[in-house]
Amino acid sequence: MSKVSAIQLNSGPNIKVNLYDVSTLIEQIADTNSKMVVLPENFALMPENDEDYIKSSEELDDGQIQNHLSELASKYKLWIVGGTIPIKSSDDNRVMASTITYNDNGERVSLYNKIHLFDVTLPKSKESYNESKYFMPGEKIEVIDTPIGRAGIACCYDLRFPELFRLQHEKNIDVIILPASFTEQTGKVHWETLVKARAIENLSFVVSSCQGGYHINGKKTYGHSMIVNPWGQTLDIIEKGKGFISAAIDLTQLRSIRENFPVLDHMKLINKK
């Protein structure tokens, strides 16, 4: 049984300030016996203008954001899931929304590029999002072995696409790791339902790390970072503001649930012609 922590932030446009907040919270987490820390989507940069994702983008394995996480992981002997970092792509006008995982030696062990991009105008609101204008979509799922179990990596809007997690399940995941920056409007009606649905239908733990509050760009995120067990029970949650949550990932419990309630073995896929 290993403990995991998830950080919640209210990030802004100043990368150094955001990284300072990350460092402060990870220093506290280092005293909790956690083996892994998950950071929210856009933890290092929530700009006033989305073009700043391009201006602040980094080459893979080289840049202040990546170097900082690598150093923290090595210093505190923690695995760190940094989701997301703007990484340069083949298109000069768009970047990848990359969730990068470092092991406790500070080595990059995983790269997941967000597949589903949020191109939405919220109902009865002036808030609109057009991620595909500045980001390129990823094309591959990511599953890795970690100190808390075999983990599938996803990001925010991916949560609405259960097919992605079924593909991860085929690779025998125990845990779903989900950095996010869910909007306040959609979060209050959909967030907890979706998180618990993904846990229950895949009989997997879900560790979500969120943005939570008002941002300088005028947008508001829902927060409610959660760690949920395979039975859909909330193990820990932080609703608003900066902070972190922690919980033990009990793989013995997971195996017992799957053995006694073998719903995943009963799955039948029907091809419609």
Residues with catalytic roles: 41, 114, 156
Report CA-CA distances (Å) from 224 to 3, 26, 138, 139, 190.
19, 19, 26, 28, 12
| Rounded distance between C-alpha atoms, residue 4 and residue 228, angstroms | 12
Residue 208 · residue 194 · CB < 8 Å: no
Token pair 């979509």 in the structure block, residue? 137
Angle (nearest 5°) at CA 67 between 175 and 102: 20
Q: Can you give the length of the chain in residues?
A: 273
Q: Give the distance, in angstroms, between the CA of residue 224 and the centroid of all CA atoms in the same chain.
A: 13
Three-state secondary structure call for residue 241: coil
| Rounded distance between C-alpha atoms, residue 156 and residue 123, angstroms | 19
| Rounded distance between C-alpha atoms, residue 240 and residue 140, angstroms | 32
